[in-house]
């Protein structure tokens, strides 16, 4: 039975793939959130250097993505060219330097006449542009949706426009990760997996936690039919939208909740922890958007929590589902406050694999939260019939082993050693694919207890914070050996 299930899941994976990329959600860094149009070769290359120097590359953050405003239009032969003030040596030169650092380069364009920033778009120029990027050594395309000549409004109109670029990228023969950015319009989550490796599923996330804004007019209740995705969306606005479409993502094809705002200063530490945790649990791409040159210890230790990244990069590629959500009376100044439980399957040594349990508390008060095994494993059998409920589960807290500030500062200042259990070197160890052993704190966090058969997980979760746990079946390794 198990073999059959594995075979079925491999088959689904293979069928869903078009270019073999983004088997797990892509990780990297993008210029837009902190630099907007004020980008340059120097910013891109110096950020790439910091990605290597501070160990982000080792953790899997590999794509360095140049967003809008890099171009100077077309030359006399119709080829896109880079702005020579911002990129005096051209994009091919940047690509070769980024490659020499062991990283990959991403670029941006738009499935319209002009980009959102008003630069030359690629609509009608897909082949020549794809060939140009391939010839420069580009590894990733973020493809936006502004100024699209009205070729939108139905899934077919939008999908066929984006498919032209899919074919053009494939025709180059160069593996180029295809990241669609049409903000969730025209129900992209329904058809996105046949076109691209990822698709933005909502408007732009601004550096704010739950403040409503009229420029992000689609709320969670109108989401599935809303036509103006907008921007200035809060983290919680996007979280409550993705909860409705989690199952659309999978290996090779991901719901993109937009870039991380961690470190950009608009939210408090625990709110950034919530962004990191839900983005990882929901299997969104993990693209940093902060000015790396202004890195501080708190930002580094969130972005470098490899116990959380191992959830994002888990080989099952199965996004966690939001099991329940309740509004709470302790609301903030925007009238917002809720608690939620997210659960999902992870790779693990036991018969049933490991299980993720994520509590979010966006109320202002600390509270004890709980989830019974029956709730945690609801999808394996409703109303208490799941076989997992009869097992005992070790509980690992994925934030309890967060790197301390002294270690983080030592990394930033380049004057200390990083304890081996502080983070996992994914690059040296073939990613996060191996089964983490329960002694690997960098992947498992800290063991905090055991749930008995039929029991309940209790967690003290601070106001505006998360409790993020990995459950592992007691005796899982032993059972496996017995079976052999
Ligand atoms: C938006 C997009 C942003 C950024 C911007 C550039 O449409 O969602 O992530 O790329 O355009 O102008």
The alpha carbon of 86 and the centre of ligand 1 are apart by a number of angstroms equal to: 19
The residues pairing with 468 across neighbouring beta strands, listed in sequence order, are 358
- Are the beta carbons of 64 and 106 closer than 8 angstroms? yes
Supply the residue whose CA is at minimum distance from atom 11 of ligand 1. Answer: 116
Which atom of ligand 1 has the smallest separation from the CA of 108?
Answer: 10
At residue 383, the pLDDT reads: 87
For 410-450, the DSSP string reads HHHHT-SPPPTTT---TTTTTTT-SPPPTT-HHHH-EEEEE
CA distance 172 to 130: 7
**What's residue 477's pLDDT?**
62
Asked if the model's pLDDT at residue 15 lies above 80, the reply is no
Token code pair at residue 164:
């032209």
Specify the range with the lowest mean pLDDT, choosing from 14-18, 139-143, 414-418.
14-18
Percent of the chain with pLDDT over 70: 95
At residue 17, the pLDDT reads 42
* Residue 373 predicted with pLDDT over 90: yes
Distance CA(385)–CA(121), nearest Å, equals: 54
Which tokens go with 208?
């704010």
pLDDT of 9 > 70? The answer is no
Q: What is the pLDDT of residue 138?
A: 98
Return the active site residues: 144, 204
Alpha carbon of 191 to those of 24, 132, 147, 249: distances in Å?
19, 27, 21, 11
Cα of 146 from ligand 1 centre, angstroms: 9
- The protein residue with its alpha carbon nearest to ligand 1, atom 6, reads 68
Ligand 1 centre and the CA of 9: distance in Å? Answer: 34
Burial (CB count within 10 angstroms: exposed 0-12, middle 13-18, buried 19+), residue 26: buried
Residues 392, 395: Cα–Cα separation, whole Å = 10
Per-residue confidence band for 311, with pLDDT thresholds at 50, 70 and 90: very high
Which tokens is 277 given? Answer: 């945790």
Q: Are strands 63-65 and 104-110 parallel, antiparallel or unpaired?
A: parallel
Overall average pLDDT of the 103-119 stretch: 98
The strand pair at 393-397 and 465-473 is best described as: antiparallel
Please give the number of the atom of ligand 1 that sits closest to the Cα of 204. 8
Kindly give the number of the ligand 1 atom that is closest to the alpha carbon of 144.
7
Interatomic CA distance for residues 30 and 36, integer angstroms: 10
H helix or E strand, kind and range, residue 104: strand 104-110
Place 415 in a pLDDT band, splitting at 50, 70 and 90. Answer: confident
pLDDT in tens, 447-463: 999 999 999 999 999 99
Q: What is the 3-state secondary structure (H, E, C) of 289-345?
A: CCCHHHCCHHHHHHHCCHHHHHHHCCCCCCCCEEEEEEECCCCCCCCCCEEEEEEEE
- Report the percent of the chain where pLDDT is more than 90: 91
Q: What is the pLDDT of residues 382-398, one digit of tens each?
A: 888 999 999 999 999 99
pLDDT band at 12 (very low <50, low <70, confident <90, very high): very low
Four-residue CA torsion sign, 273, 275, 276, 278? positive
The answer to whether the CB of 197 falls within 8 A of the CB of 26 is: yes
- Alpha-carbon distance values, 94 to 40, 41, 64, 115, 316 (Å): 10, 7, 10, 21, 34
Residue 462: exposure state from Cβ atoms within 10 A (0-12, 13-18, ≥19): middle
Domains located in the chain, CATH noted? 2-312 (3.20.20.70), 321-473 (2.60.40.1180)
Distance 144 CA to ligand 1 centre (A): 7
User: Which numbered atom of ligand 1 lies nearest the CA of 200?
Assistant: 8
Packing angle, helices 126-136 and 155-172, rounded to 10: 40
User: Whose Cα sits closest to atom 3 in ligand 1?
Assistant: 204
Higher pLDDT, 130 or 5: 130
The answer to whether residue 238 scores a pLDDT higher than 60 is yes
pLDDT score at 6: 41
Is residue 482 pLDDT above 60, yes or no?
A: no
d(CA 197, ligand 1 centre) in Å: 18
pLDDT digits (tens, 9 = 90+) for 163-190: 999 999 999 999 999 999 999 999 999 9
End-to-end Cα separation, the chain, in angstroms: 16
Q: What is the pLDDT of residue 478?
A: 62
Whether residue 247 is predicted with pLDDT greater than 60 in this model: the reply is yes
In the structure encoding, which two tokens stand for residue 212, read together? 């409503």
Residue 410 tokens, joined: 């030592």
Q: Over 50: is that where the pLDDT of 16 sits?
A: no
| Average of per-residue pLDDT values in the chain | 94
- Measuring from each residue's beta carbon to the nearest atom of ligand 1, which residues come in under 6 Å? 32, 67-68, 115-117, 144, 146, 181, 204
* Mutational pocket test of ligand 1: of 142, 181, 182, 205, the residue with most ligand atoms within 8 Å of the beta carbon: 181
pLDDT for residue 476: 82
**Nearest atom of ligand 1 to the alpha carbon of 67:** 10
Measured at the alpha carbon of residue 177, what is the angle toward residues 6 and 31, in degrees to the nearest 5? 130
Ligand 1 mean position, distance from CA 341 (Å):
31
Rounded CA separation 286/254 (Å): 11
- pTM, whole model, 2 decimals? 0.95
pLDDT tens digits, one per residue of 252-284: 999 999 999 999 999 999 999 999 999 999 999
Dihedral Cα 88, 91, 92, 98, nearest 10 deg: 100
Q: What number is the average pLDDT over the span 231-241?
A: 98
Among 31, 37, 68, 115, residue to substitute to test ligand 1 (most atoms within 8 Å of Cβ): 68
- Residue 62: CA atoms inside 13 Å, Cβ hemisphere, count? 21
């Amino acid at each position: 039975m198990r073999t059959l299930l594995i075979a079925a899941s491999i088959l689904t994976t293979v069928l869903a793939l078009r270019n073999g990329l983004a088997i797990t959600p892509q990780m990297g860094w993008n210029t837009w959130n902190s630099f907007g149009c004020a980008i340059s070769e120097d910013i891109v290359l110096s950020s790439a250097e910091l990605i290597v120097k501070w160990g982000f590359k080792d953790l899997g953050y590999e794509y360095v993505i140049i967003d809008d405003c890099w171009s100077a239009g077309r030359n006399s032969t119709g080829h896109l060219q880079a702005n020579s003030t911002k990129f005096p040596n051209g994009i091919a030169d940047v690509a070769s330097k980024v490659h020499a650092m062991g990283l990959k380069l991403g670029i941006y364009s738009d499935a319209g006449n002009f980009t959102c920033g008003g630069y030359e778009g690629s609509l009608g120029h897909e082949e020549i542009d794809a060939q140009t990027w391939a010839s420069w050594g580009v590894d990733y395309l973020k493809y936006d949706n502004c100024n699209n000549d009205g070729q939108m409004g139905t899934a077919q109109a939008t999908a066929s426009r984006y498919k032209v670029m899919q074919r053009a990228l494939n025709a180059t023969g160069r593996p180029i990760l295809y990241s669609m950015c049409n903000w969730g319009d025209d129900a992209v989550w329904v058809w996105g997996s046949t076109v691209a490796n990822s698709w933005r599923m909502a408007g732009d996330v601004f550096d704010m936690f739950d403040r409503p804004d009229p420029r992000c007019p689609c709320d969670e209740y109108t989401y599935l039919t809303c036509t103006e995705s907008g921007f200035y969306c809060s983290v919680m606005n996007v979280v409550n939208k993705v909860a409705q479409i989690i199952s659309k993502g999978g290996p090779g094809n991901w719901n993109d909740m937009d870039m991380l705002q961690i470190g950009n200063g608009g939210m408090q530490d625990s709110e950034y922890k919530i962004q990191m945790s839900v983005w990882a649990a929901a299997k969104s791409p993990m693209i940093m958007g902060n000015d790396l040159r202004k890195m501080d210890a708190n930002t580094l230790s969130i972005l470098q929590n490899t116990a959380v990244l191992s959830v994002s990069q888990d080989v099952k590629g199965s996004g966690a589902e939001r099991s329940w959500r309740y509004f709470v009376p302790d609301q903030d100044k925007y009238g917002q406050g809720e608690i939620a439980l997210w659960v999902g399957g992870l790779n693990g040594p036991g018969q049933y694999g490991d299980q993720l349990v994520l509590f979010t508390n966006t109320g202002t008060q600390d509270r004890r939260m709980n989830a019974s095994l029956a709730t945690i494993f609801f999808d394996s059998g409703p109303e208490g019939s799941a076989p997992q409920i009869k097992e005992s589960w070790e509980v690992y807290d994925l934030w309890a082993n967060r790197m301390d500030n002294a270690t983080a500062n030592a990394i930033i200042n380049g004057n200390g050693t990083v304890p081996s259990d502080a983070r996992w070197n994914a690059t040296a160890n073939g990613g996060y694919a191996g089964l983490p052993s329960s002694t690997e704190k960098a992947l498992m966090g800290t063991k905090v207890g055991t749930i008995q058969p039929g029991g309940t997980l209790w967690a003290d979760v601070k106001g505006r914070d998360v409790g993020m746990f990995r459950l592992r079946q007691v005796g899982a390794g032993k059972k496996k050996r017995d079976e052999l």
